[in-house]
Structure formats: C-alpha cells, structure tokens
Amino acid sequence: MSCEVPEGAKEAGRRYTRGMLLAGALYIGFVALGVTVIRQMSPPQWLIIVLALLPALPALLMLRTYLTFFRALDEFQRRIQAEAALITLAIVTLAAFSYGFLEEWAGFPHVPLIWIIPAVIITWGVSAFFVRSRYK
C-alpha cells in the first residue's frame, strides 16, 4: 500500500479532467459559433442574446465538475481548496471593485466583465499553491 493518492481521489481526478476537457471544448465551440453567426449572418437581437448566454453553460458544467471533485477530496485537501476560494473571492472582488472606481473616476480603460472567470481561475490556482505551501 504505497499509493500517493487514494484510489477514490484518483478516480475523482480523472472525472475532473474529463469534465473540464468537455466544458473547455463546449466553451470553444459556443464562442466560435457565436462569433461566426454574429459576424456573418447579422442575426436578430434575441438570437444574439441566446448566443451570448451559451458560453455560460460550459461555465456551469465547470462549476459542477469542480464541486464533484471538491466533495471527493479528503478533509485536509478540502480545507486548502476552501481557503484558496476565500482568498480568491477577496482578491477578485476587491480588484474588480477598485478597478471600477478607477474606470469611473480616473478614466482607466474599460475592462470587459468577461475577464472575471479567467481572473478567478488564475487567482484560485495561485492561492491554492501558496495555501498548500503553508502546510508543508
């Protein structure tokens, strides 16, 4: 018995990878579809709204995949993820809040809200790395 990671966690990791790959592929597909239809077919407003909301579906799938993975982790790993999530919440909301004022008052260039999810993913990864290193 010399496994680094329990078998249940390994299976959870495999499900996580599959879910994230599927969500990533769907995301690329929906964005490509939206860009193509909007640029080449001048669709009605209702269809533009539908196309604009489609990328939220793979984002929801990512969230579901992550929650399933989170529940399969052991209690210590869950603590690391939860601490990283709290730090991410604080950093991203504070950054968005502060930049909002900079945009409104100081004329800083507009940053689309679309960048919130990538910012969350990157900040979460970096936070998890630092939280994990604290317990080493």
Applying CB under 8 A, the residues found at the interface with other proteins are 1-6, 8-9, 74-77, 79, 132, 134-136
CA–CA dist 59, 56 (Å, integer) = 5
Nearer to other proteins, 23 or 131 (CB): 131
Q: How near is the Cβ of 125 to other proteins at its closest, in Å?
A: 17
Q: How near is the Cβ of 65 to other proteins at its closest, in Å?
A: 19
Q: How many angstroms from the chain centroid is the CA of residue 78?
A: 17
How would DSSP label each residue in 47-106? HHHHHHHTTHHHHHHHHHHHHHHHHHS-HHHHHHHHHHHHHHHHHHHHHHHHHHHHHHHH
Nearer to other proteins, 14 or 95 (CB): 14
Q: How near is the Cβ of 80 to other proteins at its closest, in Å?
A: 9
Q: How near is the Cβ of 110 to other proteins at its closest, in Å?
A: 42
| Structural contact between residues 117 and 59, judged by C-beta atoms closer than 8 angstroms | yes
Nearer to other proteins, 87 or 116 (CB): 87
Nearer to other proteins, 16 or 99 (CB): 16
CA–CA dist 126, 114 (Å, integer) = 20
